[in-house]
Amino acid sequence: MYYATKIFSFAMAHNLLEHKGLCKNFHGHNYKLHVTIKSNNLIDDNNNEQYKSSNGMLMDFNDLKRIVERYIIGVYDHSMLIWDRSDDQYDNQLYKVLLELSEEVPTDSYDINKESLKIWRVSYRPTAENMCYHFYKILKDYIEQENSNPIDIKLHSIKIYETDTAYAEYIGDE
């Protein structure tokens, strides 16, 4: 199995509503996002074109960069994630206002030129673990469909560092 990883950086704010620790407060991170792709096939030394990739690589890192910047970085960089529990029982007045100003994260298409406050309402508590899974679901099909190599590429994992010493990771089940 071959693996290739590209690392991205973005800044985003969130809070962990009803958390007992400091993360219950709105705060931000300079996140590091590791996107890892994989394939069984890379290059055949006998020139078997069926399994030969372009220039002996899984995917050009610039192609991977284009996909991740369009669907993740362009959407989430310098934004805020808030959890919409859909139960209208928010005690925090600021939280109520933010929900009114927020937009649901688009699922079908991402318009990165949209003028907004970039406050995204999500259906999950915005922990690093849940963000990994959410970003994995977003990127999986795009990476597999927008691959210009004739080899079968899969998204392997998403890893998100909140700090230099703390990260979460989601590894796909394929």
What's the predicted TM-score (pTM) here?
0.81
Residue 47: pLDDT band (50, 70, 90) is low
Q: State which fold the 2-78+125-171 domain adopts.
A: Tetrahydropterin Synthase; Chain A (3.30.479)
Both structure tokens of 146: 């927008």
Q: What gap in Å lies between CA 149 and CA 104, rounded to an integer?
A: 34
**For the segment 54-84, what is each residue's pLDDT rounded down to a tens digit?**
567 888 899 899 999 999 999 999 998 888 7
Domain boundaries, given as residue ranges, for the chain = 2-78+125-171
